[in-house]
Amino acid sequence: MFLLCLLPCVHGISSITKNRILVLGGSGFVGKHFVEECLRRDIDVVSVSRRGKPANSLLIEQNQVQWVKGDMRRMEEIENIYEKYGPFTGVFHSIGLLFDKDSGLQALNKYASGSNSVPASDATYDDITRVTALNALNVISARMTDSKIPFVFVSAAEAAWTFPAPVNFLERYLTAKRAVEKAVLNSSTVRGVVLRPSLIWSLERPQALISVIPFYVANLLNVPFVDKPVLVSTLVDAAVNSILDESISGIQSYREMESVASRNKR
């Protein structure tokens, strides 16, 4: 929880002219893997994050990526990015943080984050999640003319809970996620796709098995409110396919993500 492309038609994925995807949070754990998957499919990417270009990525030197430093909490920055690099044929939002300044656990971000990210000292769940997403949604929506572009948002499985979270900071985390879900899914100018993973992990980080194995076991035992963990490769395959396939919209749980990801096996 805490944590564009010339492509043949595959299960509804249309073959269109070269795509350009705006990736918000492209230097983070999920964002970096998403960018790499786009490059494997010959998709152009404009990645925006506070750090700009990430470290330790096999594909970061590719000319298909524009690495842009920016603070998406500032509306004027996303407006400038659109004017300089747009238009875009899709948006992928994966900006997030594990522990915000009000959680009392902010110092743990460096160790718990898959990308060793250290958020700004004033970062809250609301402005990192809700404000950045709504800024992008508003800028993109204001510039749309005759067709909806896909807007894929990485939410959390726990956003489906109908009861208060057991701790306050988790409830604030989920409140921000739900606010973006509502805005994206109710928008009349984008095709909203909401991915709801629980724990996200990668075989590149086998130490994560300590955390994910109990979740796999609990899910197999049908423990209520425990979703199966999602491999980051599954999540990004589902995200890219959701952008390319006009038939996909709405909330995607781990089952839907696995199904959508399988439409374009590497």
Q: Output the tens digit of pLDDT for each of the chain's 266 residues.
A: 444 333 333 333 433 457 899 999 998 889 999 999 999 999 999 999 987 777 665 555 656 689 999 999 999 999 999 999 989 999 999 998 877 777 676 655 555 555 455 666 778 999 999 999 999 999 998 887 667 899 999 999 999 999 999 999 999 999 999 999 999 999 999 999 999 999 999 888 777 778 888 888 888 888 888 899 999 999 999 999 999 999 999 999 999 999 999 986 55
CATH architecture of residue range(s) 20-199+231-264: 3-Layer(aba) Sandwich (3.40)
* pLDDT for residue 261: 96
- pTM (2 decimals)? 0.86
- Determine the pLDDT at residue 9: 37
List the domain boundaries for the chain.
20-199+231-264
Given this model, what pLDDT does residue 54 score? Answer: 74
The per-residue pLDDT for 106 is: 63
Q: What integer pLDDT is reported at residue 120 of this predicted model?
A: 67
3 and 113 Cβ atoms separated by less than 8 Å: yes
Q: What is the pLDDT of residue 3?
A: 42
